[in-house]
Amino acid sequence: MLSVLMSTKEHLGSYQYRMKLKSIESGLVANLLRENDFSVALLHGTPTVLDFVEATGAALMVSGQLELVGRTPREEEVRCLLQWLSAHMEKEVFATDSLVTCLPEAAAYSDGASGLLALRFSKSKEDYMLWFRAEQVQSVNWAGDPGKPVDISGDQQRLMPRTSFAIWQEMVRRKSTPWLDVEKAAVEDLRLAILELVFRKADELGALYQNLERSHAQLDAFAYVASHDLKEPLRGIANYAVMLTEDYGDQLDEEGRNRLAALSRLSQRMDDLLNSLLEYSRVGRVNFADNEVDLNQVVADALETLRLRIAEQRTTVRLLGSLPMVRGDRSHLGEVLVNLISNAIKYNDKAEKWVEIGADSVSVFVRDNGIGILPEHSEQIFQIFRRLHGREEFGGGAGAGLTITKKIIERHGGRIWMESTPGETTTFRFTLAARDAG
């Protein structure tokens, strides 16, 4: 009986067929080396997994994402099938030419997918590649086979297809052409090749990440040394400017005195910039505590620090409900809130200024009714020493506050971004590590 159903591929000779499978496997691996995306590499390149074991359809399940190509059961049906496989697959490769005998529900789609060859990429992850083969009757119909007389084992009768097609159809109903051992072995080989590739990529990424961390650390160290060492000669320059003004000021004309005053101003500004750089590198270098922190308390402390400024600017501060408990470094989180609240007060040209502080299911936020920020500046504001205004406008500033804030948030495993209606309002939002999001 099996000999009746035997694929023509076997007649190619198993060696030749194995070589063909090997070359398609190399093609798939080459696709994977080029593309980082599994679906692009396996389903949409040249060759595809459909060329591999001559299936009529295929499904790829990676990280919960299911993609179908060719003739397959519907998405919900494939998901049910995957659940069944997850509970029943003992080895990493499973093959049947009659899925319906294992899973009766498969009768619903047995015309398009009677045979299944399943590959699980790894035991710990529910990622699969499935190949389907249509019911034999149909594949035979479109293939125009049987064209030759066939043998029925057992009795020695010769059976001619023209006269016996009905019986023959009955025998192959809900069955596909069988999966050959050489095909199952090729699929297992493909799995090993993919695993090796994934491990190699993980290794490369790990090395890249370590390099990145090292360069960050070196940059922080460099920023620290540079700003620290530059402060010394700068102090000398500033002192000479003061001495010149005191000792020789009356020998200079007004123009000369103005130039000396500019020298002092510029030294002061440079000192501010170096202090910001020092602070930035400090935030990158120091260890952060990992404590249970009450954000309500952190906000209360920040408001206390800014009490005078809030009063001077006649700003109303509203606390919208209570804030979550989070894990982190209390004093650095304090720095974040002081920076955000002081900006909310500073970049505000309204007669009645207000700041609102609260948290929703996504993030903690600080909102103001100030000048707003254009969407095209939403990245720029987080870059060091980038200001959107003239140096003296809105009370001045070094342009490092938001850069430092972002660094602190990222060291807490969170993210910061802003939303704004220019001229009306700005909201800065941040998350910390996943657990405080609620």
Footprint of ligand ADP (CB under 6 A): 339, 343-344, 347, 368, 370-371, 373, 381, 387-389, 397-403, 426
In terms of CB distance, is 227 or 343 closer to ligand ADP? 343
**Least Å distance between CB 414 and ligand ADP?**
17
In terms of CB distance, is 25 or 368 closer to ligand ADP? 368
In degrees and rounded to multiples of 5, residue 128 shows phi and psi of -135, 155
**Least Å distance between CB 339 and ligand ADP?**
6
Q: Give the C-alpha separation, 325 to 310, whole Å.
A: 25
E strands, 76-224, are 93-96, 115-120, 128-133, 150-151, 158-159
346 φ/ψ sector (left φ>0, alpha ψ -120 to 50, else beta): alpha
Residue where the block lists tokens 């249509």: 134
In terms of CB distance, is 106 or 400 closer to ligand ADP? 400
Q: Give the C-alpha separation, 116 to 282, whole Å.
A: 59
In terms of CB distance, is 28 or 364 closer to ligand ADP? 364
**Least Å distance between CB 300 and ligand ADP?**
20
**Least Å distance between CB 41 and ligand ADP?**
42
* Residues paired with residue 393 on neighbouring β-strands, in sequence order: none
Closest by alpha carbon to 152, among 173, 168, 135, 176?
168
**The amino acid at 293:** V
**Least Å distance between CB 255 and ligand ADP?**
31
**Least Å distance between CB 51 and ligand ADP?**
55
In terms of CB distance, is 110 or 426 closer to ligand ADP? 426
Q: Give the C-alpha separation, 437 to 60, whole Å.
A: 32
Residue 333 CB coordination number (10 Å) = 27
Q: Write out the two tokens for 220.
A: 């922080």
Report the chain's C-alpha Rg in angstroms.
Answer: 35
Is 71 within 8 Å of 57 (Cβ atoms)? yes
**Least Å distance between CB 366 and ligand ADP?**
8
In terms of CB distance, is 136 or 315 closer to ligand ADP? 315
Closest by alpha carbon to 285, among 327, 228, 237?
228
Strand order in the sheet with 315-320: 315-320, 353-359, 364-368, 425-431, 415-421
Q: Write out the two tokens for 57.
A: 């359809």
**Least Å distance between CB 426 and ligand ADP?**
4
Is 413 within 8 Å of 434 (Cβ atoms)? yes
Strand order in the sheet with 57-62: 65-70, 57-62, 128-133, 115-120, 93-96
Q: Cα separations (Å) of 273 from 159, 306, 341, 347?
A: 94, 22, 21, 20
**Least Å distance between CB 289 and ligand ADP?**
24
Ranked by CB distance to ligand ADP, the top (closest) residue is 397
**Least Å distance between CB 381 and ligand ADP?**
4
Interacting residues of 258 by C-beta distance below 8 A, sequence separation 6+: none
In terms of CB distance, is 72 or 420 closer to ligand ADP? 420
Interacting residues of 387 by C-beta distance below 8 A, sequence separation 6+: 397, 399
**The amino acid at 326:** V
In terms of CB distance, is 328 or 399 closer to ligand ADP? 399
In terms of CB distance, is 52 or 347 closer to ligand ADP? 347
In terms of CB distance, is 241 or 371 closer to ligand ADP? 371
Q: Write out the H or E segment, with its range, that includes residue 365.
A: strand 364-368
Length of the chain in terms of residues written:
438
**Least Å distance between CB 108 and ligand ADP?**
59
In terms of CB distance, is 177 or 425 closer to ligand ADP? 425
